Structure 1
C-alpha cells in the first residue's frame, strides 16, 4: 500500500515525507541546516589553529612547556582523574553520580601513547596534529571530501574527549557534543548537500561503475 501511495504521490506531484522530500522548502531547510552544522564544525577547528602554529606549536623551553605541549602533558598527568564520562546525578543526596561510563582504560592508553610516542616526536608529530585540524576546517567548510574530513574530526574529538573531558574544570559535554557532531557529519556527508563534493561525485561515480577501486573508495569519502 505504501509503495502504491508513494508512486501516486510522485505522479501527482505531491511533496513526499522524509529526508528525500520533494518539497523545495524542505530541501532548502535540510541543506541550510547541514551546511551550518558542517561549517560550524569546521570553524571550531579553525579557531584552534592559531595558538599552536608551526614550527614550535606554541611550545617553549625545548618543547616542554606551553602551547600544544601543555595540553599533551595535562592529558597525561590527568590520566588518573575521575575517569568517568556521561555522569548523571539523578538523586542529589546520593554520593557521586548514579549513572556514568568508566573510561579509565582509555585514559591510561591515551597517556601511554602521549608519553611514549607523541611527546618524544612532537617536533614532527605536531605537524600531523596541526595539518589534521587544518584539513578538517577546509573539508567541512568547502564540502570537499567531507566524509573523510568528518572521519578526521571523529578521531580528533575522540582523543580530546578521552584526554580532557574528565579533567577538573572541564565541561565534559563540550567534548562529547563535538564528537557527536562529527559523527553526524560523517553520516550525512555534508558535501553532498553543498560544496565541491557535488561536483566530484558524478565523476567518481563513473570511475566506480567502471570497476575502479580507487574511484569507489573516493566516492565513499565524498
Structure 2
C-alpha cells in the first residue's frame, strides 16, 4: 500500500479527537449524536425478508422512487434493473450500513469512517427520493453537509468511544452515563410491559411520531437492557467481570432480535432500533479493548495539515 494511502487510511481509522476548545468539542459531539439518532430511527422500518416488496411499501417503495421520479437517469436504470429485482440482498446491505452508522455515530466509534459511510448513504438516498412527492431536496444536502462536518471536525473528543481509544477520557466516564440511560430505558420497558409481558412489540421511550426512539422492548427485553445497564455501572466502579458480561448479554440480545425480526415474533419485543441500541451498549462496555489511537499530544501518522497538536 502506498505511503500516502496508508497514511490516509490511518487517519480515517484513528480516534477523531483533535484538540479543540471544549465548547466546540461538545457542539460537534451533539451534532454527531443527533445524526446518529437519525440513522437509529431509520433502521426501524427496514424489515426483512422482502423489505416491502410484497406490500409495495417500505424500502422497496422508497427505492422505487428513483425510477418513478428520477434524479439521475443512470442511477434510475441501475435501480430498476439491478436493485429492485434483488431487493432482499440490497435491503440487507442497507440495513447493515444504517445500523453501523447508528452504532458508530451515537457511540462515537471510528467517527471519521462512519461519517464517510454516512456521506455515501446520504447521496444514495438523495438519488432515490429527492424528487419524489412531498420531499425537500435540501434535506439531503443538509444530511451530506452534516457528515462532511463530522469527517473534518473533532466530534469524537467528547462522550465517545474514540476519546477512550485515544486515552482522552477514562472508560468509566463513558460507561456511567450509558449505564444510567440503559437502566432508565430498561425500567421503563419493564413497568410499561406488565399488562402484556411478552408482546411482540413492546413499549418504548420515543416520540409519538415516532421520529426519535431508543428501541422498543417487552418485559424480557426490558430486563435485558436493565441488566446490561447495571453491568455498565458496575464496570464503571471497577468490577472487571462486569464489562464483558454486559457486552455478552447485549450482543446475545441483539443477535436474538436480528434473527427473529421480520420472520417471527421477537421474544424480546424489539425492533431493528433495539438491535442497534444493544450493540451500542456492547461497544461502550468494551471500548477500552478496541485498538488504541495516538495518545494526546502525539501527532498521528496521517495528514496533519490544519490539525491541532
Task: State whether TM-score is above 0.5.
Answer: yes
The structure-2 alpha-carbon separation of the partners of 1:194 and 1:66, relative to structure 1 and needing over 3 Å to count, comes to same
**1:76 maps to which residue?**
67
Secondary structure class of the residue paired with 1:162: helix
Shift of 1:20: 5.4
Contact 1:147 1:189 in 2 (8 A): no
- Supply the distance in 2 between the matched residues of 1:30 and 1:120 (Cα, whole angstroms): 46
Q: Which string of whole-angstrom CA distances, capped at 9 and with x for unpartnered residues, describes residues 58-92 of structure 1?
A: 4325xxx111100111121111xxx5xxxxxxxxx
**1:92 maps to which residue?**
none
Contact 2:112 2:150 in 1 (8 A): yes
**2:108 maps to which residue?**
143
Secondary structure class of the residue paired with 2:27: helix
RMSD: 2.5
- Supply the distance in 2 between the matched residues of 1:197 and 1:128 (Cα, whole angstroms): 25
- Supply the distance in 2 between the matched residues of 1:31 and 1:119 (Cα, whole angstroms): 41
- Supply the distance in 1 between the matched residues of 2:98 and 2:130 (Cα, whole angstroms): 19
The structure whose residues are more often strand, as a share, is: 1
Shift of 1:205: 3.7
- Supply the distance in 1 between the matched residues of 2:108 and 2:69 (Cα, whole angstroms): 36
**2:241 maps to which residue?**
none
- Supply the distance in 1 between the matched residues of 2:81 and 2:154 (Cα, whole angstroms): 35
**2:57 maps to which residue?**
66
Moved over 6 A (4+): none
- Supply the distance in 2 between the matched residues of 1:132 and 1:20 (Cα, whole angstroms): 29
**1:7 maps to which residue?**
none
Contact 1:72 1:114 in 2 (8 A): yes
**2:81 maps to which residue?**
116
Shift of 1:150: 0.6
Moved more, 112-121 or 189-198: 189-198
- Supply the distance in 2 between the matched residues of 1:187 and 1:55 (Cα, whole angstroms): 37
- Supply the distance in 2 between the matched residues of 1:53 and 1:186 (Cα, whole angstroms): 30
**1:157 maps to which residue?**
122
The structure-2 alpha-carbon separation of the partners of 1:126 and 1:189, relative to structure 1 and needing over 3 Å to count, comes to farther
- Supply the distance in 2 between the matched residues of 1:59 and 1:193 (Cα, whole angstroms): 41
- Supply the distance in 1 between the matched residues of 2:63 and 2:137 (Cα, whole angstroms): 17
Moved more, 134-143 or 157-166: 157-166
Q: Which string of whole-angstrom CA distances, capped at 9 and with x for unpartnered residues, describes residues 160-214 of structure 1?
A: 22222233321111111111101111111522444111232462448xx9xxxxx
Contact 2:63 2:79 in 1 (8 A): yes
Work out which of the residue numbers 48, 52, 56 in structure 1 matches 2:50. 56
Unpaired stretches in structure 2, ≥5 consecutive residues? 1-17, 168-291, 303-309
The structure whose residues are more often helix, as a share, is: 1
**1:29 maps to which residue?**
23
